[in-house]
Structure 1
Amino acid sequence: MILVLSNEAYEQGTDPVLSWLLHYQVPFVKVSLHDLVTSKVRYHVDLKTRDIFINGQSVKHSITTIWHRRFLGAANAMSFAAGTNTDQLNFEIRTELHDLVSYLELLFRDKTWLTAFNRIKVNKLEVMDLASQAGLKVPHTRIINNRDEVLAFYHELGGHLISKPIADVRGSYQQGDSTHVVLTTNLDAGRIAALPEHFFPSLFQEKVAVDFEVRVFYLDGRFFATGTLFSGTERNVDKKLDSGSERVHYVPYQLPAVVEEQLTQLMRTLELNTGSIDLLRTVAGEYVFIEVNPVGQYLAESTYCHYALEKEIAEWLINQEISCASLE
């Protein structure tokens, strides 16, 4: 049986796949983090027998394939009121949940996973280092904590400099009626001059001269690439700001074989069998690796390019079930 670990609410990368599993009449169970803390499901975990029981029935041996997508993130939105001790209570609850889920992952470690728990969080700096070792070109990047060295780096790059978060954050900040979000920022001499003399260590990176961007959905050795073409010369340095523009066009794209080989090596090193990869194709015709998101969104590219990735994922899960059944 297939176990789906995902968000309680609708999730655009998960639910379309479940629709295909229903279409194929393949049994599956979806579990959210909320299911572990509410009374919707009666269960217990037996550490002596290393088994899990739901409504009195063992499920450890009936589950063979696990799809893990946007499951643990729900913990950040959980909040339990406890007067003046609310913050401490919520911290302890998240810690308890983390350790419980880590143990459940241990019990199911011998199953077939589409993104294991311990591979879901990647370090952007480590990934860029490994990408470079795999032969991929990456932007010149530095972590700097002072204005003088930012200015020197800016001149070294001929004035082509951007700044972005070190980690993969999607944070937002409320100030009155305004909401501020974290985005990639273009830097010029004026902005650099306005920086304090010293500041929190931040990531500064070469601004690549882009012809177009390529979003790649990787699924167990297969590549589904989408070229993002832009009409006109004015574009934002952060592509999220242009995602709804009529000037953005998505087309199927074929990566060179050597780039696919390098990406395959990187994904194997990261022990990832799926993920969304961002590349830039430069005006000189080179491919520059930016990042990989193990649970990145793919539905827009799937729709525009008729890849039917939700169907591809469902069929991958089903094939793992068939393979497990043939070995029994």
Structure 2
Amino acid sequence: MNKILIITHTADNFSIEKVTEYIAQNECEVIRFDVDLYPLNNKLTTSFQNGKWETFLETTDAKHRLDDISAVWYRRAYNIGRGLKDELEPKFYGAAMGEIRNTLFGFLESIDVYSLGKPSVYRRLDSKEEQLKIADKIGLKVPETCITNSADEAKKFILKHKNVVAKMQTGFAIYEDGVENVVFTNVVNEEKLDELDSLLYCPMQFQKMIEKKREFRVTVVGRDVFAFEIDSQQFDEAKVDWRKDGVNLIDKWKQTQLPKDVEDKVLELLDVYNVDYGALDIIVSPQDEYYFIEINAAGEFFWLDNLTEGNLISKSIADVLCDKAPRRDNVVLA
């Protein structure tokens, strides 16, 4: 029986269970590696002896051999080393975490089988600038953009385009008193020019504000494209960034289809990156122009999966992992 390794964490959502169910239907076995239990509860060992590489994962329940897995899904790597800070003296904690991360990610990069996501792939897809340049090159429309830490350049861009949105290029959050405050996309106009001097310390991405007729969230798995739309302009909190009102909108998305030419370019984008998963944000203007905003290497899909008949996104992920559906060849080691 083929074994599929899923890299995630104990607080991940039910999408893991759904994918696991479909993997079982494909007569494959799932090994789940919760990285927040590493290293205090999970033990990972790789050895090279007598000309042979072997890797074992020891959990509280079992000992799994990993050098003979057939595929891996690198889903999440949250809270690695949870609880370790309470076990070590502060002077040792930073060094230990460095070794832990290097060991875990080194293992993930070296897996010589099909991988749906890798740390190096996620790092590359973190570059919003590269995304926009590739999307533009293959013919997707992208908003006029300025990425800068220069207040003067940002001011010139804003004065030219009048209404501009500002956003961070990463999953940016500020933690205060134990509370996570996510930095959403916000409108910047001429009235806020005096606030731009702080760019010196932290660059931002500015884009010409596109009037929205509809917004699309497009999840691509292999060659399968799952498109959902929402009229975010009906909801005050969601007009600039639908995530601000994401909980209230969770059941208001509708499954739809992209125009064939746009869908072809979306698939071409994943071809360029040689990945089999991506969650794209696309804006449709009142003139029915489709603007690519970004692609998320591990973007969430569970709330959209529930809107399909039989959790089809989870099924598609399972089929790709079990080699039951077309996939791009992204094996790194020969």
TM-score, length of structure 2 as denominator length: 0.82
Partner Cα separation in structure 1 for residue 28 and residue 180 of structure 2: 43
Decide which of 72, 77, 102 is 2:105's aligned counterpart.
102
Partner Cα separation in structure 1 for residue 93 and residue 225 of structure 2: 40
Decide which of 242, 245, 248 is 2:245's aligned counterpart.
242
Deviation (angstroms), 1:82: 6.9
Structure 2 CA distance for partners of 1:272 and 1:76, relative to 1, 3 Å: farther
Kindly provide the CA deviation profile for residues 44-69 of structure 1, in whole angstroms up to 9, marking residues without a partner as x. 32134322135698834531111110
Deviation (angstroms), 1:273: 0.7
| Between 191-200 and 258-267, the greater mean CA deviation after superposition | 191-200
1:63 pairs with 2:65: no
Query: Any residues of structure 2 matched to 1:46-61 within 5 Å, and which?
Result: 46-48=47-49, 49-54=52-57, 59-61=65-67
Deviation (angstroms), 1:93: 2.3
SS of aligned partner of 1:46: strand
Paired residue for 1:266? 269
SS of aligned partner of 2:322: helix
Paired residue for 2:332? none
1:17 pairs with 2:23: no
1:5 pairs with 2:16: no
Contact 1:226–1:305 (8 Å) recurs in 2: no
Partner Cα separation in structure 2 for residue 53 and residue 146 of structure 1: 50
Structure 2 CA distance for partners of 1:50 and 1:320, relative to 1, 3 Å: farther
Partner Cα separation in structure 1 for residue 302 and residue 63 of structure 2: 36
Corresponding letter in the other structure for 1:38: L
Q: What is the Cα-based RMSD across aligned positions, in Å?
A: 3.0
Decide which of 74, 79, 95 is 2:79's aligned counterpart.
74
| Between 234-243 and 181-190, the greater mean CA deviation after superposition | 234-243
Partner Cα separation in structure 1 for residue 5 and residue 116 of structure 2: 11
Kindly provide the CA deviation profile for residues 164-209 of structure 1, in whole angstroms up to 9, marking residues without a partner as x. 112x22423216x976321111112222234338623222111111
Contact 2:109–2:118 (8 Å) recurs in 1: no
Structure 2 CA distance for partners of 1:19 and 1:140, relative to 1, 3 Å: same
Partner Cα separation in structure 1 for residue 250 and residue 157 of structure 2: 32
Deviation (angstroms), 1:76: 7.4
SS of aligned partner of 1:223: strand
Deviation (angstroms), 1:220: 0.6
Corresponding letter in the other structure for 1:312: S
Contact 2:224–2:316 (8 Å) recurs in 1: no
Decide which of 97, 118, 121 is 1:119's aligned counterpart.
121
Paired residue for 1:180? 181
Kindly provide the CA deviation profile for residues 218-265 of structure 1, in whole angstroms up to 9, marking residues without a partner as x. 011110000112363744311111223369831111111211221122
Runs of 5+ consecutive residues of structure 2 not aligned to the other structure: 328-334
Decide which of 274, 277, 284 is 2:287's aligned counterpart.
284
Partner Cα separation in structure 1 for residue 235 and residue 182 of structure 2: 25
SS of aligned partner of 1:297: coil
Deviation (angstroms), 1:99: 2.0
Decide which of 66, 91, 94 is 2:94's aligned counterpart.
91
Kindly provide the CA deviation profile for residues 5-62 of structure 1, in whole angstroms up to 9, marking residues without a partner as x. 1113333432321233356663221112244412455x53213432213569883453
Partner Cα separation in structure 2 for residue 101 and residue 227 of structure 1: 37
Paired residue for 2:144? 140
Decide which of 205, 208, 223 is 2:207's aligned counterpart.
205
Partner Cα separation in structure 2 for residue 187 and residue 161 of structure 1: 5
SS of aligned partner of 1:309: helix
Deviation (angstroms), 1:296: 0.8
TM-score, length of structure 1 as denominator length: 0.84
Structure 2 CA distance for partners of 1:249 and 1:262, relative to 1, 3 Å: same
Identity %: 19
Partner Cα separation in structure 2 for residue 277 and residue 305 of structure 1: 18
Contact 2:55–2:67 (8 Å) recurs in 1: no
Corresponding letter in the other structure for 1:16: K
SS of aligned partner of 1:105: helix
Structure 2 CA distance for partners of 1:28 and 1:194, relative to 1, 3 Å: closer
Kindly provide the CA deviation profile for residues 93-128 of structure 1, in whole angstroms up to 9, marking residues without a partner as x. 23212221233235422x111113321222111111
Corresponding letter in the other structure for 2:188: L
Partner Cα separation in structure 2 for residue 236 and residue 57 of structure 1: 50
SS of aligned partner of 1:210: coil
Structure 2 CA distance for partners of 1:178 and 1:8, relative to 1, 3 Å: closer
Kindly provide the CA deviation profile for residues 301-324 of structure 1, in whole angstroms up to 9, marking residues without a partner as x. 122343532223223323459x9x
